[in-house]
Amino acid sequence: MNPSVILYPVDPSGLQAAALEQAAALARWHQAELHVLFPTAKQQLDQRTLASLDAAGLQLVVNALAAPSIPAIVEYAQTVAADLLVVAAPPRRYGIRWRRVVDADALIGMIECPMMVVPADAAGVPRTSFTRILCPTDLPVGLGSAFREALGLAQLSGGRITLLHALEGFPYQPVYSSGGAMQVVREYRERVAQTSRRLLRSVPGDALNWCEVKVKVMAGAAQRAILDTAEAIDADLIVVGAAKPGSQRRLSRSATTAVLQRASCPVLVVPHSPYVGSEAAAEVTMMDQRLEGWRTGVPA
């Protein structure tokens, strides 16, 4: 990830400090333009909304929409050729998800560039490099792009990637006896070992020269496995792939939504094929096919 144009759309409810500070930190680090997009011209004119932002070292561009909407944000991102969209994760109060106009879940599948979703209650100094990256393989089918993005980020920081695969629904049939339980344990260990080997084989050999790659396979729902693993490894970034247009993988989409809402660290959502040439696109497709073949047991 080496963005030259970063877009932060402001929700009508106001600026979310953590997301704005993260966008500004990345813009300074990469010497990129930071576009702050207000929902209306009236809010743009209220300069107090940017008073907390340290503009030193920033190439700041401030604009406003004629009317706040997701399609208008997408159109603006395309017009300025944004390389990265930074938004705040929706807050949860008393178990209720408060929906904003700038809704991360609604932007998935519409935005053409990677999107970083920053928890509204994120604490600490915004990060410009990430050293503990979690890359789940259970989330949407754009895994090739997400994995490649995670490898690039780890290369920049010399960090560690944890590849996570959740065996959802395991065991796949009821167990009624101790003998059956032992069989399930053996099958589980075999599946974990087999999946781990396959995931490690997906890592380019030279990648291990500049970053550490670990594999974790566990049984359980994808979203629970992701959130638990992120906490266990103290992840500073989760990288997931956005579903392909027209995807009917509802479980994957629901898992993504749950992670965006509950993750305590930023989540980078990578489109299936963001701005890639023909060779790179073919490479991504091949990787997706190989990994999908491993999941189904049918070689690609």
Burial tier of 241 (Cβ tally within 10 Å: 0-12, 13-18, 19+): buried
Q: How far is CA 44 from the centre of its chain?
A: 29
Opening angle at CA 299, ends 288 and 224, nearest 5: 55
Give residue limits of the domains in the chain: 1-120, 129-300
Burial tier of 7 (Cβ tally within 10 Å: 0-12, 13-18, 19+): buried
pLDDT tens digits, residue range 225-263? 899 999 999 999 999 887 655 554 444 667 788 888 889
Evaluate if residue 202 carries a pLDDT over 60. Answer: yes
pLDDT band at 122 (very low <50, low <70, confident <90, very high): low
What is the CB neighbour count within 10 angstroms for residue 170?
15
CATH number of 1-120: 3.40.50.620
Strand order in the sheet with 59-64: 59-64, 33-38, 5-9, 84-88, 115-118, 267-270, 237-241, 132-136, 160-167, 212-219
Burial tier of 57 (Cβ tally within 10 Å: 0-12, 13-18, 19+): exposed
Burial tier of 17 (Cβ tally within 10 Å: 0-12, 13-18, 19+): middle
C-beta separation of 232 from 226 below 8 A:
no
Opening angle at CA 242, ends 270 and 3, nearest 5: 15
pTM: 0.79
Tokens 């509204």 locate to 120
- The residue ranking higher by pLDDT, 90 or 192, is 192
pLDDT, position 186 = 77
Tell me how far apart the alpha carbons of residues 142 and 291 are, in angstroms, rounded to a whole number: 11
Tell me how far apart the alpha carbons of residues 300 and 286 are, in angstroms, rounded to a whole number: 8
Cα separations in angstroms, 240 against 71, 114, 237, 266, 284 = 23, 10, 10, 11, 14
Helices (H), the chain: 17-30, 41-45, 70-79, 104-107, 143-157, 178-201, 222-232, 250-262, 278-296
pLDDT tens digits, residue range 135-182? 987 543 435 788 888 888 888 888 899 988 887 765 555 555 566 566
- The residue ranking higher by pLDDT, 114 or 273, is 114
The encoded tokens of residue 226 equal 């992701």
In the three-class reduction of DSSP (H, G, I as helix; E, B as strand; rest coil), residue 61 is classed as strand
Give the up-direction half-sphere exposure of residue 174: CA atoms within 13 A in the CB hemisphere: 1
Tell me how far apart the alpha carbons of residues 190 and 296 are, in angstroms, rounded to a whole number: 15
In this structure, CATH architecture of domain 129-300: 3-Layer(aba) Sandwich (3.40)
Range of weakest confidence among 81-85, 104-108, 179-183: 179-183
